[in-house]
Structure 1
Amino acid sequence: MSLRLVEPTLPSQRFRATPTATRFDLGLSENPFPPLPSILDAVNDTLAQANRYPEFLPDELPRIIADHLGVSPDDVVVGAGATGVAMQVMRALGGGELLTSTPTFDGYPIMAEMAGMGLVPVPIDPGGNQDLAAMRRAVTRRTSLVVLCRPHNPTGTVLDAAAVRSFLGAIPGHIPVLLDEAYVEFLAPADRLDIHALLHRHQNLLILRTFSKAYGLAGLRIGYCVGRGKLIQRIRQQQLPFGITTAAVAAVRAAYAADTELRDRVDRINREREVLRMSLRACGIDVPRSHANFLYLPGPGVATALRRAGIKAKAYPDGSARIAVGDPAAGRAVHAALVDLR
């Protein structure tokens, strides 16, 4: 199954409504800031050699990422965004069932179907958290991959570190667990996991990350996965030849060099998120605390109100919505659209 978007209201023949022009597109949890000038310069410098192919199989980018993380390059697999790497993971596992929470990133149901995997969705709990006890109970001999999101998409909630360790210890060692950390850079340092300790202890663990969110490089499609041993080797065998561009390599190197500037941007996004969250809660909307660059706005009626105000959001069947944050003007428009909803 996959999450369907709430269908737009169809105007009657008698009362035809004029479509509302989109004022703000907040549907894809994009970074509101363009790439830093140093990153743009690095990417532009590669265009003079755009007539040349990139590496047949990526070697330089995994090495850059591995050096930054303090792991071996053999432990890193790269691909076309976190989505592309997740697809490589599923193809490497070949069938079985994908166990994940619902709602979740809607790419997972789509990719599971493409990879020939059955989908086992486990509802999140009333607080917007992944229900780890229910997910453990849902593991069977048909389970071939378990997905955890931290922070969770779309609610922005964060699993307790001890709960993650306990969950990993309860999953049979032959079943891979994909820990989706697409929004990890938005976490406070105290909330981040010790990935080195986890990878050392759990050979079935894969950690998935992206440069699309905090780094603001969604259009360059750069993601990676960190794992150990035979499991990560299997995933590397799904690597697409010539699949990582020279521009992507230059962008990552420049992004790591601009860590302080990028951290300032993340801090700005987090501050704007909290300002908007508190203003919406003051309006009576029970917005859960988010640790990512988006807010989950429980329905009913939220998605419709935003659409009527010309604000594009990720909508859910119960009328809830997820919106990207960070742009103060967009935040004010969201508040204005929802201030009288409750």
Structure 2
Amino acid sequence: MTESGPRAPRLRLTRADLAALPSYVPGRNPADLARELGLPEAVKLASNEVPYGPLPGVVEAVATAAATAHRYPDMGVLALRAALAERFDVDPERIATGCGSVALAEHLVRTTCLPGDEVVYSWRSFEAYPIMTITNGATSVQVPNTPGHGHDLTAMAEAITDRTRLALVCNPNNPTGTSVRREELDRFLAAVPEDVLVVLDEAYREFVTDPEVPDGLAGYGDRPNVVVLRTLSKAWGLAGLRIGFLVGHPDVAAAIRKVVTPFSTSAVAQAAALAALQQEDEVRRRCALVVAERDRVLEAVRKLVPDVPESQANFVWLPLGERAVEFGRACEARGVIVRPFAGDGVRVTIGTPAENDAFLAAAEAAL
């Protein structure tokens, strides 16, 4: 009761359906954990970053661009789109850039779906997919992973209905590291109606070593209903600057450029990306280091968790089920931050050899 009578019902100022929406979980700050544990430092293997620092020339390009921070960036991102077009041998009109590939995926949902339309994707896959689907008023159609923790493309094709507007294929899949091979992707694309947009999310493409895992741009980039997502956050070392791009039909790319938040690709990010793209040999060298460590870590963890799947990304997946959160806490208690997914498993990023050794010691103690 109030002095003037019964308390008025509380007004809802946001959408009621968002209450059930899971929050995106960022990797924990290693400095905070180190301080809690009284350690000199902690190891962060939770966010799929590459551990070798910015590429040569990037810091200098960022510093130069920062001197013009009082000016708006090039909204059309013309120079970067031209550089990407040259690097990947596509027309600049087929390219759109954004605040990481995740932002572009969200824009794709926005440009294809009206309320009630459906987005089909594998689950478990990238944790942002349900968030971007629901917040744009669309309906998630989650198709369970195979027993091997990968996409069930046959079931995904069967899940497509007249209301389906978008199908997301994460290849390699985050967080399981599993990948879709050429033959099964060919069958899937043949089964998908022409009016359904298929998004090949290839954020981890640079770490793929299996020749049977297709390059979406090379194999399918000319299909009108296929869009390929790439990022410079992972192998290209620009996670802190948020730069991603897509390649699709010119009409699709134009629609994305129309709805993208104005000036969301900052001048600093554009300059850094242009500098990074000149370092392809160094990127290949670093990816080779990651892949070598990935193979070593896989061999070691399979002695503890035999059904760890093959990974084509820069992380490995431990299918620990209900033990996932407990395992994550046990690793943190030893100064190693990993990424548990409650009830499913744990994703562990490949770091430096010393960081990976710290994880393996923590995993052996925990298991």
Residue of 258, 271, 290 corresponding to 1:269: 290
Which of 329, 335, 341 aligns to 2:360? It is 335
Q: Do structure 1's residue 188 and structure 2's residue 209 form an aligned pair?
A: yes
Unaligned runs of 5+ in 1: 7-18
What is the TM-score when the length of structure 1 is the normalising length?
0.90
* 1:235 to partner: Cα distance: 2.0
Is contact 2:324-2:346 (8 Å) kept?
A: yes
Q: Distance in 2 between matches of 1:31 and 1:197?
A: 27
Matched, 1:318 2:343: yes
In structure 1, the residue matched to 2:273 is: 252
Compare 79-88 and 276-285 and name the one that shifted more. 276-285
* TM-aligned CA deviation for residue 318 of structure 1: 1.9
Whole-angstrom distance in 2 between the partners of 1:309 and 1:228: 45
Deviations 1:233-278 (A, max 9, x none): 2222213222222222221221121111111111111111111111
SS at match of 1:335: helix
Matched, 1:122 2:147: no
SS of structure 2 residue aligned to 1:208 = strand
CA RMSD of aligned residues (A): 2.2
For 2:118 and 2:264, locate their aligned partners in 1 and report how far apart those are by CA, in whole Å. 27
Deviation, 1:169, is 1.2
Q: Which has the larger radius of gyration?
A: 2
SS in 1 for 2:245: strand
Q: Which residue of 2 aligns with 1:166?
A: 187
Aligned mates of 1:228, 1:98 — CA distance in 2: 19
**Counterpart code for 1:80:** C
DSSP-derived class of the 1:140 partner = coil
Distance 1:332 1:58, change over 3 A: same
Instruction: Decide whether aligned partners of structure 1 residues 303 and 271 sit closer, same or farther in structure 2, where only a CA change above 3 A counts.
Output: farther
Q: What whole-Å deviation, never above 9, does each CA across 1:210-242 have from its counterpart, x for those lacking one? A: 011111101111001100142332222213222
- Show the counterpart of 1:198: 220
- Give 1:82's aligned residue: 101
CA contact (8 A) 1:302 1:338 kept: no
Aligned-partner residue type, residue 331 of structure 1: N
Amino acid at match of 1:173: E
Give the structure-2-normalised TM-score.
0.84
Identity of aligned residues (%): 34
Residue pair 2:44, 2:338 contacting (<8 A) in 1 also: yes
In 1: Cα distance, 2:320 partner to 2:24 partner: 13
Contact 2:200 2:216 in 1 (8 A): no
Once the 2 structures are TM-superposed, how far is the Cα of residue 194 of structure 1 from its aligned partner? 5.6
Question: Per-residue deviation at 1:189?
Answer: 7.3
Q: Which stretch of the first structure deviates more once superposed, 34-43 or 297-306?
A: 297-306
Q: Within 2, Cα distance between the matches of 1:109 and 1:194? A: 23
Q: CA deviation at 1:20?
A: 5.5
- Is 1:58 aligned to residue 83 of structure 2? no
Pairs aligned (count): 330
Instruction: Give 1:306's aligned residue.
Output: 328
Larger RCO, structure (CA 8 Å, separation 6 or more): 1
Of 65, 76, 87, the match for 1:68: 87
- Whether contact under 8 Å (1:178, 1:205) holds in the other structure is yes
Distance in 1 separating the partners of 2:201 and 2:44: 24
Moved over 4 A (4+): 1-6, 19-22
Give the direction of change, closer, same or farther, for the CA distance of 1:23–1:303 in structure 2 (3 Å limit). farther
